[in-house]
Chain A
């Protein structure tokens, strides 16, 4: 082994140690203006790598207009669009603020954010609360119904969840994920088990902290009816797990994968905060009645952070039902996805195991060298948004990360290592 390779292997081993050594705990829900010190008024954080208004896809532009009205920066959607085009808002990626957001990923000052603390490394990551299914802002929805729900989340649900979590002293997430994997979740397109398990923990605390019985019933109903409620918790957890793994010199391990509906972005531990981007792919999947591929927007969201930590498409073996839901073939193929992802990872998570695969650990630590060498692109399970603003979700599917972004990262990594 050459000295260069030995240094990479050593750095990667340390990166894997940090990824596997995490202790993520859901501790609070806090308004974004308090949780994110760098988030200012008229600043909009979005999913994916950096992008400006002109290059944003339809649903992201729609969500920007909706959130601008929600924050009372514009009186209506038309004025919001004019303001956005005139440069009235500052756009930055969630990932620049220790934050993540699903699909369009809108994060603005008054939204309550889930806070996950990685207690093993003393870092915190944030994500907005899941809005539910159907017409929602994360899929580009922006009408009064969408904004009214966001206001209820801001005024009622967020403060109630925060109080309940503080009363509980937090909820440890690693064991919850382990149980979810054994109950058929992969934590990206299927969160039924973990959403239910979390509600089971939260409900008594909510009953103790929410004084109004009507409000309590509405909160329990909202969480109980949302199979994807846990997704945003899993995403904040994913960011909190990857943060200590960032910036390890000589490490070729992926720390971020995300999409803004136009570009796919990758970050690599040994390359710090550099983005490597390529045009994002179109998901292949199943569509809700009345919709087809012609309606679909290219892939979007920070949710691929769950694949970075070995869940989602990487843990498909735990969730055969998802394979059918996203139209990726027969349920018997579920384990093939996980085995394939293991070829591009340097380790397995011994605490997150998949019973149906003889308790194999979730593949963890995506190595850009292996991705480029094998040509195996990371598999990401994803929702599909309508390409026009204001419509919402039209399906669910699987998307491949574009290899070009990993090839760019490899060339930069070689230069960083002094390899020419």
Chain B
């Protein structure tokens, strides 16, 4: 098995892609770290009834 452990992860400057709450990205940005935040929100704005209908209607 080849060794897939990232050898240089902590030896080179980090470039971060944040998938989640914006506050994580903002904290890193405040520390001067380059970070890109993925624009994401739960399906149907997190409204369960609409999400349930969409699961049957497709799209």
Q: List residues of chain A with CB under 8 Å of any chain B CB.
A: 1-2, 4-5, 8-9, 252, 367, 369-370, 372-375, 403, 407, 410-411, 413-414, 417, 419
B-chain residues with CB within 8 Å of residue A407 when the two chains form the complex: 47, 50
B-chain residues with CB within 8 Å of residue A252 when the two chains form the complex: 57, 59
| Contact assessment for B53 and A375 in the assembled complex, using a CB-CB cutoff below 8 Å | no
Q: What distance in Å separates the Cβ of A218 from its nearest Cβ neighbour in chain B?
A: 51
Known: A370-B59, A419-B57. 6 other contacts (CB 8 A): A4-B58, A369-B58, A372-B45, A372-B54, A414-B57, A419-B56
Tally of contacts, chain A with chain B, CB under 8 A: 50
A-B contact pairs, 18 of them (CB 8 A): A1-B58, A2-B56, A4-B56, A4-B57, A5-B58, A8-B57, A9-B58, A252-B57, A369-B59, A370-B59, A372-B44, A372-B50, A373-B44, A407-B50, A410-B54, A417-B57, A419-B53, A419-B57
| Contact assessment for A410 and B56 in the assembled complex, using a CB-CB cutoff below 8 Å | no
Asked whether B34 is an interface residue with its Cβ less than 8 Å from the other chain, the reply is no
Among A370, A410, A417, the residue within 8 A (CB) of B50 is A410
| Contact assessment for A5 and B41 in the assembled complex, using a CB-CB cutoff below 8 Å | no
Interface flags for B40-53 (1: CB within 8 Å of A; 0: not) read 01011101001001
Among B43, B45, B53, the residue within 8 A (CB) of A414 is B53
The count of chain B contact residues (Cβ–Cβ below 8 Å) is: 12
In Å, the complex CA distance between A361 and B41 comes to: 27
| Contact assessment for B58 and A414 in the assembled complex, using a CB-CB cutoff below 8 Å | no
Nearest chain-B residue to A368 (Cβ)? B59
Q: What distance in Å separates the Cβ of A385 from its nearest Cβ neighbour in chain B?
A: 30
Among A8, A403, A413, the residue within 8 A (CB) of B45 is A403
B-side interface mostly: helix
A-chain residues with CB within 8 Å of residue B41 when the two chains form the complex: 374-375
Among B43, B44, B47, B57, the residue within 8 A (CB) of A413 is B57
In Å, the complex CA distance between A252 and B54 comes to: 12
B-chain residues with CB within 8 Å of residue A1 when the two chains form the complex: 58
B-chain residues with CB within 8 Å of residue A403 when the two chains form the complex: 45
In Å, the complex CA distance between A414 and B57 comes to: 7
Nearest 7 pairs between A and B by C-beta? A369-B59, A5-B58, A414-B53, A419-B56, A375-B45, A375-B41, A373-B43
| Contact assessment for A369 and B57 in the assembled complex, using a CB-CB cutoff below 8 Å | yes
A-chain residues with CB within 8 Å of residue B47 when the two chains form the complex: 407
B-chain residues with CB within 8 Å of residue A411 when the two chains form the complex: 50, 53
In Å, the complex CA distance between A369 and B47 comes to: 14
Nearest chain-B residue to A5 (Cβ)? B58
| Contact assessment for A5 and B57 in the assembled complex, using a CB-CB cutoff below 8 Å | yes
A-chain residues with CB within 8 Å of residue B54 when the two chains form the complex: 369, 372-373, 410
In Å, the complex CA distance between A175 and B24 comes to: 49
Pick the most buried of A1, A367, A370, A372: most chain B CB atoms within 10 A of its CB: A372
Contact residues, B9-59 vs A (CB, 8 A): 41, 43-45, 47, 50, 53-54, 56-59
Q: What distance in Å separates the Cβ of B43 from its nearest Cβ neighbour in chain A?
A: 5
In Å, the complex CA distance between A410 and B50 comes to: 8
A-chain residues with CB within 8 Å of residue B53 when the two chains form the complex: 410-411, 414, 419
